[in-house]
Amino acid sequence: MFGYDWPRLHAALNDLPAALLMAAVLFDLLGAATRRPAFRQVGFWILVVGALGAVAAVLSGLQAEESIDHGDAVHRVMETHELLAFVTLGIFGVLAVWRIFRERRMGAAERSLALALSLGGAGVLVATSTYGGRLVFDYAAGIPTEVLQAEIQSRGAGHAHAPGEEHGDGDHAHPSPATTPDSAAPAAEPAPPAGTAEPDHAHAPGTPAHDH
């Protein structure tokens, strides 16, 4: 749909719910610290929207799991990521439903318990995101095998930079195609003209001095 397969759709649906849920926790903390109901109300509505988005992210992730090429290592990380995603959805889903029915009637103790639950959910959410990142950056999950093989071959062949072009990190450089071992060697310095004194230089210990 619109050029998206399940892995791409899952990637597109991940970021916003995660950001919303973390923002909801932040606003709840601000509300507790400042005792301003406005922060708490903003956190409540962000929580509800974030929980709905998390449902879409989890469902698309289950579909993506069935459609990507992967081996045993990817499968193990994927299973951990999936478990953490279900726990995250469970925590914030329960919290959202709880607050929908109890938001206006919560006492101080009940609100503190809800805040503690949201903080625990935030920790599980970070772990879920970490394992999702490992799937992409450590195992290239979601990239078709033929595309990955072509990229490996392309990287092995290297590439040339235009004159004056270089990578920003300075750690990745390629020799120019025109560079050869002979041309790369530094040119020998010409001998000084006859009768010209040699430049100052250091002698090894015990070496007799030269007569200039």
pLDDT tens per residue across span 83-128: 999 999 999 999 999 999 999 999 999 999 999 999 999 999 999 9
Whole-number pLDDT of residue 180: 46
Tell whether the model's pLDDT for residue 1 goes beyond 90.
no
Question: Does residue 73 sit within a domain?
Answer: yes
pLDDT tens per residue across span 11-48: 889 999 999 999 999 999 999 999 999 999 999 999 99
Top pLDDT among 186 and 20 is at 20
**Which structural domain, as residue segments, surrounds residue 80?**
6-154
Question: Does residue 15 sit within a domain?
Answer: yes
Question: Does residue 16 sit within a domain?
Answer: yes
Question: Does residue 121 sit within a domain?
Answer: yes
Query: What is the domain-level CATH number for residue 24?
Result: 1.20.120
pLDDT band at 190 (very low <50, low <70, confident <90, very high): low
Question: Does residue 174 sit within a domain?
Answer: no
pLDDT tens per residue across span 132-158: 999 988 888 878 778 888 888 888 887
Question: Does residue 202 sit within a domain?
Answer: no
Contacts by 42-47, CB closer than 8 A, 24 or more apart: 44/99, 44/103, 46/20, 46/21, 47/20, 47/21, 47/92, 47/95, 47/96, 47/99, 47/118
- Burial code of 93-131, b = ≥16 C-beta within 10 A, e = fewer? bebbeebeeebeeeeeeebeebbeebeebbebbebbbeb
Question: Does residue 18 sit within a domain?
Answer: yes
pLDDT tens per residue across span 51-75: 999 999 999 999 988 888 777 888 8
pLDDT band at 82 (very low <50, low <70, confident <90, very high): very high
In the chain, the number of structural domains is: 1
Question: Does residue 19 sit within a domain?
Answer: yes
pLDDT (mean) for 191-206: 52
